[in-house]
Structures are given as structure tokens and as C-alpha cells.
A and B are shown apart, each in its own frame.
Chain A
């Protein structure tokens, strides 16, 4: 079934019957540009793969490609910010955070530079292996003081963040969902707010705390569990930093069991933050942690890798159902 699939470059697989939107980042950035005439967009030889070409075509004088040079990308963006510009940058998260980490920390965050990094290939959204998969970027970025770190769920959120990032003070690191991106959150009712988690459902048998596209997978798994008699709910934490610890603690307190789910290694990301928040609030719950194992992931097609490492809705459901079974909370087959 997987034979012949391409390795993918940050684009999510279509899920049957789920609506999608093409290049929501581009739409959001163009909308931001209508409000802000001092918005520049920079990329490092990955414009084609990060949905910036619509901006380039609309505002060629404000678009810059520095070539394969992530340190220049970030430091040039920081310099632009010093003269009153807001700089949106795109590259892959692996390159932004591993190669240009010092520049994001010191050239940008240390001085509060208005640099917004949109980082493609988050987690397992490419099959190009450990070099291209940003599996630890959230941990690296959230450890830097004064950075806003965001992992959007879907096209709705991606577009809203791109549109709003000009208003978020200082340095922002946002994972980029590109290409045809599923629409999960209703654009008519959902409003992204920095640092605010959003709860879906009231079920208290099991609660999912998730970030990024794992929220989509958790919502699907929760729906299926509901049909099997398990009352479930999902807390989407789009902003990793500042972290909505109060919402997480309240949510954890309202459910019997907790599942965390992230498209990221289980080191220093969402799961660590949830555990910190629960410790602070002195809440203890049985917990299942879903994420990428602490190892570099091989090359392979994206659906294969997401299935193998348990990030699909089916695998999330399967694991949670089995866990509930073992603990005596039944999810009927």
C-alpha cells in the first residue's frame, strides 16, 4: 500500500473526507502584509517548500533569499528588526534550531528582535531521515528565554498565526504546516490566542493533552473512543511557550486518566511541560505518553513513519484503548 509514495517535504497526507486548505501560511502572511507595510519575508533556499512564493510574487521588494545559509538568514532578520522591520523567516526546523540556534538565542531573543521563524518539516512530516526531521526543535526553542514557541494544529490555526505573528512581541518560533493542510478547527469559531489552550469535549474518563497536528489525531481517537463508551476530551495546547499551565492543571484535574501526544521526542517538549504543570499543581494521574522515541528516525515515507512511531489517529486510538483495557476502563471493540 505504501509502495511508490514519495518521502514528502513537510506536507501532511490527505485524510479521506477531511477538508484541506492549500498554503495557509501564505494566506496568513499576505493578510499580515496588508496590515503591516514593514513586513519582510526571508528564506534560505527553501522558498518552494515553505509556501513563501505567493508573498514573493506580491511583494518582490520585501522578499529575500539568502541561499543555503541559516545563520545569515537569522542574523539578517535580526538586523532588519533593528531598523523597525518585522521579519518572517522560513527554513526547515532542523536547520533553524540546530544550525542557527545561537543566532535565534542571541541575535534575536536576547534583544527581543521581531523575528518570526516558521520552521518546516516538524517532527515526522518528512521521510528524509534524521537530517531533516525536526524532532527536538520544541525542546531547543523553549529552553531559550523570551521566545514564543508555537506548534499549530491545522490550516485554520496556521493561517491565523501567520496573520497574527506581526502582533506577537519579540521572537517567535512556529512550526510550519505547508502544502495541503487539513482543516480541523472551524475557522468561523476558532480563534488562536497566544498562550491559551483550548478544550474540546467534556468527557472525563480520559483526557488528551496535545499539540501540533497530534491534536487532529487525538480528536479522531477521542471520537472513536466515545463511540465505544469512553468519555474523552482533548486539550489543544498550540502555544508551547508561554505554556498554559493553569489550563493543563485544570484539565488534568477534571479527568481520570491523561494522555499526552506530541509530534516531537518525549524529551523536553509538551509531555515534560505537562508533567511540570501537574507537579506544580500537585495533581497525580495515570498517564500515557505518546511521542517520538529518543532516537534518530530513519528515512521512509511519511505515512509509514507516522504509523510505525504511533502518530496516526488509528495508532493513537489503538494504544489508548489497550491502555484503558489493561487498567480496567473498557473501550468496547
Chain B
């Protein structure tokens, strides 16, 4: 069993930083191919996904179906661009296929569909599904007496879905301390900035009986620290409220008002790619 990326007590921050940059590059490759996509959200998750897949998550690079693997459910299926990037980085997806993101017949769809690409644990396009599925998987692992853990990403906009709170209630009722949720608070949704107030996010989770911490989701050391914090088992589910910046890493994308769905002119991609390298030089 070729286990990799199991939790280590000595995170290599410069390695993870390089991985986050690599994920951003791989997202740009996809968006440039399509000319558009949910790039802003993806870029905002780079530190989180780099840390999850290259530090915390337990999985088998040679066997995506390994029964005892930790699960990562990406509830926001439209963040697929970020998932394809990390799955390409760990070898589940070929890097050469990335420019087909969103193209007709490409398995790298604009939204994650279970069953087409190794490493995709759920069909995530209909928001409000991920947390409930994660609760069930955490329950299943506990029932099967497996020590694998369940990680799930949900977004701040997704907290408007009532089903998320149904699932939050169930997780508390079942005392699932093998479950860790990450709320990507990037402040945007389809119609623009949060269209209804969703704060105080952390207090809401606390009120639902979860252990909560709040971090800057684009600060690697804080993301790593959150992963360490989430290893504790106190009989309660855990949630990491991550404040992230859509378009993070590329100043001109960070400044975009319509960051929910980004379209970029064909001539602009080289400039954007150079900006990414310059900002991370």
C-alpha cells in the first residue's frame, strides 16, 4: 500500500506554498482553454487544497478507491476547476487533459460529476448536498470501525441552503468527531456579493454544537494550523471557517467585481499567467 500524504508533525511550508502556486497554474491552464470558468473561487482555495492533499488527507495515489481512505467532499461542484487542478497534481488526472476543462465530452466538467474522474467523491452541483453526504460517510466509517476521516468543503453562499443546517444538526446529534467541515467564505454568490446576510458564520456553527475556528484561508500557516486543530477528537464535529479571497494570487482578478464567473479575453491569459508568477516570485 503506497500511502502518501499522511499527517506529519512537520509541515514543510515552502513545499506547500509551491504546491499552492502549482495549483493556481493548473487552474489557469484550464480557464485559458475554456476562456472562462469559476476561476475566482478556485484560486481562493489553493492554499486549502494544497494543504489538504499534500499534508493532511490520507489516500493512496495508486488506488483512488482504497476503502480506508479519508474522504474529501467538494460540495460546491462548480469549483471543479480547483479539484481538477489538485487531482492532476497528484496524478489522478493527466495534466495534458486540463485545457479540455468545460469542453464538450470532456470528463473535466464545469461541475463535478461522480463516476467520471477518479477522486471525485460526490456530484456537487446542487448546493446543499455535501454536508449531509459527509455526515453519512462519517457515520458509515464510525459504524465500520474505520479510523478514516471525512473532510467536506461548503461555501458561505451554500449556508443559505436549509439542508446544510439539517445536516449540521444531524452531525451534532451523532457526535461525529471524525468529520471536519471547511466553510469557504469568499463573500460572493451568483448574484454578486452575499445577497442576504449570512454572518456571524462562526457563531452559527457554534450554536449548532460544532467546534469552530476561524482563519484566513489564504494564509498557509493558518490553514496548516487548522488541520492540526481538526485532529482533536472531542465527540463533536469540527468546522473551519475560512476567509478567502476570490481570484487570490492574481491582482487583476482579485479586483474583479463579477468574480463568480470569470471570462477573460484570449489575449489576456499570458498577462495573467505572468502576473501570477511575478506575485509569487
Contacts and interface: CB of A to CB of B under 8 A. Distances in A.
B129 interface: yes
Contacts of B141: 83
A69 B174 contact: no
Interface in A92-109: 102-103, 106-107
B123 A76 contact: no
Contacts of A71: 128, 132, 162-163, 166-167
- Residue among A40, A72, A103 having the largest count of chain B Cβ atoms under 10 Å: A72
A107 B125 CA distance: 10
- Residue among B123, B129, B131, B144 having the largest count of chain A Cβ atoms under 10 Å: B129
A64 B142 CA distance: 13
Interface stretch (B98-106, B114-122, B230-238, B239-247): B114-122
B137 A80 contact: yes
Interface in B126-155: 126, 128-129, 131-141, 143-144, 146
A110 interface: yes
A78 B173 contact: no
Contacts of A17: none
Given A82-B71, A111-B122, A76 B132 contact: yes
> What interface size band does chain B fall in?
20 to 34
B112 to A, nearest CB: 11
Given A71-B128, A76-B136, A103-B129, A40 B170 contact: no
Contacts of A103: 129, 132, 163
B123 A111 contact: yes
A195 interface: no
A86 to B, nearest CB: 11
Interface in A54-92: 61-62, 64, 66-67, 69, 71-72, 74-85, 87
A56 to B, nearest CB: 15
Interface string B61-86: 00000010001000000000000000
Contacts of A77: 136
A66 B170 CA distance: 6
Interface residues of A, number: 29
Contact of A78 (B113, B132, B144, B170): B132
Contacts of A79: 132-140
A74 B167 CA distance: 10
A81 B166 contact: no
Contacts of B71: 82-83
B4 interface: no
A72 B132 contact: yes
B100 to A, nearest CB: 22
Contacts of B131: 75
Given A71-B128, A102-B126, A111 B114 contact: yes
Contacts of B129: 75, 78, 102-103, 106-107
Given A62-B143, A64-B174, A71-B166, A80 B132 contact: no
Given A76-B170, A82-B133, A103-B132, 11 more contacts: A61-B143, A67-B170, A71-B167, A75-B136, A76-B132, A78-B132, A79-B135, A79-B138, A84-B67, A84-B144, A107-B132
17 contacts: A66-B166, A67-B173, A71-B132, A72-B169, A75-B133, A78-B129, A78-B133, A79-B137, A81-B136, A82-B122, A83-B140, A83-B141, A83-B144, A84-B67, A107-B129, A107-B133, A111-B114
- What 3 pairs between A and B have smallest CB-CB spacing? A79-B136, A75-B132, A83-B140
